[in-house]
Structure 1
Amino acid sequence: MTERKIKYIDGGSLEYWRQHTEGFRLIHAAERALLRVKRAPMCIAGGYDEDGDVIPVENLGPWNAMDAAICAIEANETAVDILVALRRTHFGQWPVEAVIRELEEAGKPRSD
């Protein structure tokens, strides 16, 4: 016998809408971060050496922002619930482990 986590949902409450607004905001932030990762150059000019050649520096900012966006989603129960309902387990190559665990526990197929 499986145990189910049943939640009481009051769709008319302000708290419900505040939580869902925050969940969708975090999901949209991850989608925007993914777009920045796709468009960002791998290296940026970090300065010049004594011969006048450019010293390349890795551009890690967009990747770090994407990691932070995924962590923020995993820390928000409503955002995880939304992604579970959509069966969305990844943003690009970044997995959302909390969603993957929920879907595996429920025995639902994932959409990668």
Structure 2
Amino acid sequence: MWWGTAIEAPGSSGLAKFYAELLGWHIGHEELGTAIVAVSPQGPFLVFQQADAYGAPVWPPAEGEQRPMMHFDFQVGDPDAANFPLQTLQQVRDLLCVRRRRTSRRP
């Protein structure tokens, strides 16, 4: 049995692989529509579930649009040693299909 935080996404497998690599965890279980990332067989677990009717969140929030429902905060002990390229952030955006709302800038 497993339990943990469940995250709906348009692509459960891709998102699970991304977080497994980011955290240095492993994919403990994968089946059609579900992938589970774990630090050990006892957990903790992140469960990624396929959501066919997934509504991509919009950032910044906009009236009538899907708002981001949650986020992860990761603390990095040595930011200079942590090689976290912009490409990685773009991968997350693409995996979650986050839409960026254009905002007008006023002087």
TM-score range, shorter chain: under 0.3
Q: Which protein has the larger Cα radius of gyration, Structure 1 or Structure 2? A: 1
Of Structure 1 and Structure 2, which has the larger fraction of its residues in strand?
A: 2
TM-score by length of 1: 0.25
- Greater length-normalized contact order (CA 8 Å, ≥ 6 residues apart): 2
TM-score by length of 2: 0.26
